[in-house]
Structure 1
Amino acid sequence: MLKLGWDLLWTIINLIILYLLMKKFLIGPITGIMEKRKNLIAQQFKDAETVQNQAQEMKTQYETALSGAKEESVQIIADARSDAKALGERTLKEANEKASRILENARNTAEQEKQNAMSGAKSEIADLALEAAKKLLSQGSSKEGNSMLYDQFLAETGDTDDRN
Structure 2
Amino acid sequence: MGLVWTIINLIVLFLLLRHFLINPVSNIMEQRRKLIADGLQNAQDTQDEANRLKAEYEEALSGAKKESAEIVDKARIDARAEYDRIVGEAGAKAGNIIENAKENVRIEREQTMKELQSQIAGLAIASAEKIVGDKEQNIYDQFLGEVGGTDEDTDK
Whether these two folds match at TM > 0.5 is: yes
Name the structure with the higher helix share: 2
Q: Percentage identity across aligned positions?
A: 8
Q: Which of residues 12, 17, 33 is equivalent to 2:24?
A: 17
Q: Which residue of 2 aligns with 1:114?
A: 120
2:75 pairs with 1:69:
yes
> Matched residue pairs, number?
138
Q: Which of residues 53, 57, 68 is equivalent to 1:51?
A: 57
Distance in 1, matches of 2:28 and 2:55, equals: 41
Higher RCO, Cα 8 Å, sep 6+: 1
Q: CA RMSD of the aligned region, Å? A: 2.9
- Please tell me whether Structure 1 or Structure 2 has the larger radius of gyration of its CA atoms: 2
Once the two structures are TM-superposed, the CA of residue 96 in structure 1 deviates from its matched residue by 1.4
Displaced runs of 4 or more, over 6 A: none
- Gaps of at least 5 residues in structure 2 are 1-6, 148-156
Which amino acid in 2 is paired with 1:35? Q
- Gaps of at least 5 residues in structure 1 are 142-164
Distance in 2, matches of 1:95 and 1:58, equals: 54
TM-score (norm 2): 0.69
2:40 pairs with 1:34:
yes
TM-score (norm 1): 0.66
Alignment of 1:83-94 (within 5 A): 83-94=89-100
Once the two structures are TM-superposed, the CA of residue 117 in structure 1 deviates from its matched residue by 0.6
SS at match of 1:104: helix
